[in-house]
Chains A and B, each alone.
Chain A
């Protein structure tokens, strides 16, 4: 478990991470969403023990991270622009990581390199941006650490590769004690992989929610009432977060139990009623809108 308390980091006059208190549970994919400059990288660099927090505390499995190799053995950090030694090949990097991480699996590395079709003897400097991303993911997964911290890792991967990586994460989570923490500015990239999402804005954590819980509490319902019916008395009885009307079709995002909501709406004898899945974007809109943020300015 990763736990931060009032974590703060400043660069001169700029507060990059502001008073973040957060718990990241094991065995779940944690997504860190925010625009460029929101503080995602700074947060991950503190999590990786690169930066020392100015205030607050940070523990991974009960251990401090900064200058603590014992703690650092438990995670692998994939930076937004991964570093490779000058003129090195994937094999040379793998050998180096093999010396650093006792959990490192050479077999897994070889298997993944084969699956991804990357040349182990070729100089990394000749790789494309996407290939370098793939290589850093392979090296990270081969380290077999408990945690993996990914900073904009999916950026630069093609959709097929992105899906493959997601599958790898999923299978690792199924097979071993594995917790990925993924930072991205792209909401849709994390939509189908994250269990928990934290929304960062200007260094502060606007929200951190378990997606299943959010989805259980907020519902998107499309409903068509008879043409002479005014549904206002019904919607006033509901906690409507968003109400959109197109012709006779009402699209409502409502907080509450799905069954209770549908019972109230049924009182208007709707000719059509259907529940739709909520996108991450809609969850943020509904979750943060009440707190006075214009979410569209944050996530776009």
Chain B
């Protein structure tokens, strides 16, 4: 720099003018961190003293809610400071007097900008880190933060600071691109949420018009939008994902560096006369307008299409036009600060309208043939199928991904590894799905998740997800509705189900021995819905033996069998957490459902000392209260069955409410009649601890649908 004033001087002078944001930052983080910690310390120590809680769980709670990523006060503070520091630091760009002042003195514009930029970071980060460290010291001194908690706190600081810098850099960009602080706020919202907004609008259209959409919830898009990326990275992971966290922090820093480079370039070319104008760069005005207007028009069209039930496409067109008029007017009024300017610059509005209309038509008319086209059968190398109505709900927790704290798309976990090479049956099912889609896609309903909205009698249709893989690696993914009462479709699914490939990717028991769960198992539980019992006298060999036996029994299942028989119980183990912040606690891992045919599994459980009593007879039941609902579920009729003969005739056809949905694609029940079964004490003879939790004396049942008509 050739001017006399040094960069440090510029930095100091700028900081002198920003005392109030600094004071706000110090005060805010003081209350959000040390004060909050002191309140929690008092509360937790009291709880410990009174014996309400154990130290370990209090450590986890304290760490998470003070120096960890669940301290939403600190996170909100960072979010606010990112906006506040960017707007106050760069407000000189929006004032003619200040731009004249700084433009005329011997100081490089880039130096002035950098000073404001760096101070904006320091004003938030220095108090934040200091207060964070103080909080950690308080917690550690009171034994409410462990060493792993300190590491977790340090990771939180790294993630939250980098997340802050990312957000801040984008908001600064918005202040440079605009010439007025109020417009900067709108600009910041656009920059922070634009990719997310585009994603939301486009997936909204795909969900509305592609009835076979296999929603991939493309996680990449969540990382493209600065605001969503901020929330993604600050929520952090357990300490076992340090590498992932650091990678995210590095990505945030790299993107921030790129935005800073862009900001510096723009500052160099930014005209001083931009101050007080809405947009700083004349050339960007139509481009930004079109970029904002296209999703606004589309979302307006989508809104009117979705809230109406008739004339969907007329309302879609109305929404598109309304979106154009409203969006165009709003943008022009903001651009010119003049209400009368709403009809200026019509051509750029029309370009946006044409683009939005083409996008809408792309989805409405399914231009790519998303719903109806299939890849050539001979081009398919392998495939996979997932039927949500088979083995449903067994692995809910397994859908959760610790890596990015999201739930996987239903079935994706199962299908990723499934390589069915005999693809003829898959193709049969897919083809049936496209026929259904072709008939239904013109209804324009919101989504394909509920076939009852789409066609009459469609309750016969079952949702299935299909992957068809090409040698190139491309995967064709669709969600179809297929009539499994059609013999050809049912036979195709039966052949697929009966393969080892399908089962090993559908039932997690096949992979349990690949994990170290057996060595960390603390408790084995068998739950029948009527009662549960457990044992803690376990060895790794015992658990591995049980896993192998369950696997063998599961291999023996056939589609025809599970279409008739519901599970009678579920086996799970409690596994010791050895590495996360919650180390020392246990979590539940379900091993799988037990069917009546699982004789070896049942006898092994009995051998392990787990109470197994599946033979429920009429003698175990005191009475059954039957409630018949009308179709609207508004009135009921009750009947109490006490005769042992009647009970013994009825009971084998009933399915416990805990299990009637497991294979709902095949085994359906009549839910207009429910059966309240009252068991007597005899059933639980042999159960170790009979209490309300382990012995459920009253259970609800439904009748299998195939039997319902004649027996109800």
Chain A residues near B (Cβ < 8 Å): 11-12, 45, 48-52, 67, 69-70, 72-73, 75-77, 79, 81-83, 85-86, 96-97, 99-102, 149
Contacts and interface: CB of A to CB of B under 8 A. Distances in A.
B104 A69 contact: no
A65 to B, nearest CB: 9
Contacts of A45: 100, 103-104, 272
Contacts of B16: 85
A49 B108 contact: no
Contacts of B108: 67, 69
Nearest to A104: B4
A100 B272 contact: no
10 contacts: A50-B99, A50-B100, A50-B104, A69-B106, A69-B108, A72-B106, A75-B104, A79-B104, A82-B97, A97-B105
A97 B109 CA distance: 16
Given A73-B106, A79-B97, A102 B17 contact: no
A96 B16 CA distance: 11
Nearest to A51: B272
Contact of B5 (A75, A79, A99): A99
| CB-based closest 6 A-B pairs | A69-B3, A50-B103, A77-B104, A69-B106, A83-B101, A72-B106
Contacts of B101: 79, 82-83
Given A72-B106, A83-B100, A99-B9, 16 more contacts: A48-B103, A49-B104, A50-B100, A51-B271, A52-B272, A69-B1, A70-B106, A79-B97, A81-B97, A82-B101, A83-B101, A96-B13, A97-B105, A100-B5, A100-B107, A101-B106
Contacts of A49: 103-104
A199 B4 CA distance: 36
Interface string B85-103: 0000000000101111101
Given A11-B273, A81-B97, A99-B9, A70 B103 contact: no
Contacts, number: 78
B105 A100 contact: yes
A50 B4 contact: no
Task: Choose among A50, A73, A96 the residue with the greatest number of B CB atoms under 10 Å from its CB.
Answer: A50
Task: Choose among B2, B3, B107, B108 the residue with the greatest number of A CB atoms under 10 Å from its CB.
Answer: B3
Interface residues of B, number: 27
B268 interface: yes
Interface in B193-235: none
A25 to B, nearest CB: 22
B106 to A, nearest CB: 4
B578 to A, nearest CB: 57
B4 A102 contact: yes
A70 B272 contact: no
Contacts of A73: 3-4, 106
B138 to A, nearest CB: 36
A93 to B, nearest CB: 10
Nearest to B282: A12
A72 B271 CA distance: 18
A206 B130 CA distance: 64
Given A70-B3, A79-B97, A100-B4, A51 B9 contact: no
A69 B2 contact: yes
Contacts of A82: 97, 101
A221 B602 CA distance: 130
Contacts of B17: 85-86
Given A51-B271, A99-B4, A77 B9 contact: no
A249 B295 CA distance: 80
A99 B13 CA distance: 10
Nearest to B269: A52
Contacts of B109: 67
A1 to B, nearest CB: 19
A70 to B, nearest CB: 5
A282 B259 CA distance: 59
Interface in B95-127: 95, 97-101, 103-109
A87 to B, nearest CB: 9
Given A83-B97, A83-B98, A100 B103 contact: no
Nearest to A72: B106
A72 B272 contact: no
Contact of B105 (A11, A51, A72): A72
Nearest to A16: B273
Contacts of A11: 273
Contacts of A85: 16-17
A79 B95 CA distance: 13
A97 B4 CA distance: 11
Contacts of B268: 67
B104 to A, nearest CB: 4
Contacts of A76: 104
B542 to A, nearest CB: 75
A73 B268 CA distance: 20
A45 B105 CA distance: 12
A76 B107 CA distance: 13
A67 B17 CA distance: 23
Contacts of A100: 3-5, 105-107
A107 B268 CA distance: 36
Contacts of A79: 97, 100-101, 104
Nearest to A74: B106
A69 B107 CA distance: 5
Nearest to B4: A102
Contacts of B95: 83
Nearest to A73: B106
Contacts of A70: 2-3, 106
Nearest to B111: A69
Given A85-B17, A99-B13, A101-B106, A52 B271 contact: yes
A58 to B, nearest CB: 14
A51 to B, nearest CB: 6
A49 to B, nearest CB: 6
Contacts of B272: 45, 50-52
B509 to A, nearest CB: 70
Contacts of A149: 104
A51 B274 CA distance: 10
B97 A51 contact: no
A154 B677 CA distance: 99
B107 A77 contact: no
Task: Choose among B9, B98, B103, B282 the residue with the greatest number of A CB atoms under 10 Å from its CB.
Answer: B103
Nearest to B9: A99
Nearest to B20: A86
Task: Choose among B95, B99, B101 the residue with the greatest number of A CB atoms under 10 Å from its CB.
Answer: B101
A77 B105 CA distance: 8
A242 B271 CA distance: 46
A29 B271 CA distance: 30
Task: Choose among B17, B97, B100 the residue with the greatest number of A CB atoms under 10 Å from its CB.
Answer: B100
Contacts of A99: 4-5, 9, 13
A7 to B, nearest CB: 15
Contacts of B103: 45, 48-51
Contacts of B105: 72, 97, 100-101
Nearest to A12: B282
A101 B4 contact: yes
A86 B16 CA distance: 10
